[in-house]
Amino acid sequence: MRRLLPVPSTPDEPEVDLVEAYAYPPDRTWLRANMVASLDGAAQAPDGLSAGLSSPADKRVFGVLRGLADVIVVGAATVRQEGYRPPRPRPAYAAARAAAGQLPAPVIAIVSRSLAIDFTTPLFTEAVTPTIVITCEEAQPKGLAAAAEYGDVLLAGRDRVDLGVALDALAARGLTRQLTEGGPHVLAQIAACGRLDELCLTVSPLLTSGPAHRLLAGPTLAEAQAMRPISILEEDGALFSRYVRA
Ligand SMILES: NC(=O)c1ccc[n+]([C@@H]2O[C@H](COP(=O)([O-])OP(=O)(O)OC[C@H]3O[C@@H](n4cnc5c(N)ncnc54)[C@H](OP(=O)(O)O)[C@@H]3O)[C@@H](O)[C@H]2O)c1
C-alpha cells in the first residue's frame, strides 16, 4: 500500500505501517466509521452486501481498524445481512492491547429496536467479551430478556436508541476507541448527533449504479458536516482515505 497524502518526502517511501497510520488519537474518546463505497457512491454491491465492494487491501484495513478499537458499533440490519461473528483476539495486537489496557479483542455493540436477533449464533455463544445489545426501554420484554440472557444490554433511549446517549454510555464503560461499521442508517444518526469524528472511507474502483444506499441513509443533516482529509493511501486502484471533522 502506498501513501498519496501526506505527499511522501521520498519517491521510494517504504510500505505504509497501517497500525501506525490508523492509530487513535490518545487520551480522548474518538469515534471513527469504516465504510467502503463504489466510485459512484454505493454502500452496497449489487447483491445488497458490502463484500463485493471490498478487496484484499480493504480487508487488511478493516482488520487493522478492528485491532485498534475497543468497541464496534453496528446496526442490527448489518449484523443480520452480513452474518456478523465475534472478533477474535489476534496475536499481532495482543501486546499493544494489553499495554493500552484494552480487552483482548474489540466487543461488538449491536443497535436494535426490534431485538429480532438470533442470540444462538457464535456472535453471542462464542464472544470473548459478551456482545452488547444497545436498545431502548420500550423494546419488547421477551426480546429484552433474551438479550440479557445471551448478551450485555445497554438501554439508551425510551422508544428508540439515542445514539449520542449510547456512545456516551460506552465511553463511560472505558470503551473510548470507538469504531462503527455502519450500516448507513446507524451512521446517519451518529453524524446527526454530532459524534462522527472520523470517516475511514475505502473507494473501490467499481461503478454499480442501482438503488444502493449511500454511506449515510437518513434525513438531511441540519447542517452539512465539513470534513478534512488527513491521509490517503492506495492499493490496486482502491483509495483508503481518512477524513476528520474540520
Ligand atoms: N459499505 C459499507 O461499508 C457498509 C457497511 C455496513 C453495512 N453495509 C450494508 O448496509 C446494509 C445495512 O445497512 P442499513 O443502513 O440498512 O441498516 P443498519 O444501519 O445496519 O441497521 C439498521 C437497524 O439498526 C437498528 N436501529 C437503527 N437505528 C436505531 C435506533 N435509533 N433505535 C433502535 N434501533 C435502531 C434497527 O434494528 P431492528 O430492525 O433490529 O430494530 C434497524 O433496522 C447492508 O446491505 C450492508 O451490507 C455497507
Phi, psi for residue 220 in degrees, rounded to 5: -55, 135
What are the pLDDT digits (tens) for 30-82? 999 999 999 999 999 999 999 999 999 999 999 999 999 999 999 999 999 99
Cβ 67 vs Cβ 101: under 8 Å:
no
Q: Which residue's CA is the closest to the ligand 1 atom numbered 33? A: 113
Fold of 66-238: Dihydrofolate Reductase, subunit A (3.40.430)
Beta-sheet strands, E only, within 125-176:
132-135, 152-155
What was the pLDDT predicted at 77?
A: 98
DSSP 53: G
Q: Measuring from each residue's beta carbon to the nearest atom of ligand 1, which residues come in under 6 Å?
A: 35-37, 43-44, 48-50, 53, 75-78, 81-82, 111-114, 116, 136, 160-161, 181-186, 189, 213, 217
Average pLDDT over residues 109-131: 97
Q: Which ligand 1 atom is the nearest neighbour of the CA of 82?
A: 47
Q: d(Cα 95, Cα 40) in Å, to the nearest integer?
A: 40
Q: Tell me which residue has its CA closest to atom 1 in ligand 1.
A: 43
Percentage of the chain exceeding pLDDT 70 = 100
User: pLDDT grade, residue 11 (50/70/90)?
Assistant: confident
The number of the ligand 1 atom at minimal distance from the alpha carbon of 212 is 45
Q: What separation in Å is there between the alpha carbon of 12 and the centre of ligand 1? A: 42
Q: Which atom of ligand 1 is nearest to the CA of 78?
A: 20
How far apart CA 70 and CA 186 sit, in angstroms, is 18
Domain ranges in the chain are 66-238
pLDDT of residue 208: 97
Per-residue model confidence (pLDDT) at position 12? 87
The alpha carbon of 15 and the centre of ligand 1 are apart by a number of angstroms equal to 35
pLDDT, one tens digit per residue, over 123-165 is: 999 999 999 999 999 999 999 999 999 999 999 999 999 999 9
- Cα-to-centroid distance, 184 and ligand 1 (Å): 6
Considering only CA atoms, which of 20, 31, 112 is closest in space to residue 61? 20
Determine the pLDDT at residue 43.
Answer: 98
pLDDT of residue 103 exceeding 90, the answer is yes
Q: In what order do the strands lie in the sheet with 2-5?
A: 2-5, 227-235, 238-245, 198-204, 30-38, 177-180, 71-75, 107-111, 132-135, 152-155
CA of 163 to the centre of ligand 1 (A): 13
Report which protein residue has its CA nearest ligand 1's atom 24.
75
**pLDDT tens figures, 179-214:** 999 999 999 999 999 999 999 999 999 999 999 999
Distance 74 CA to ligand 1 centre (A): 7
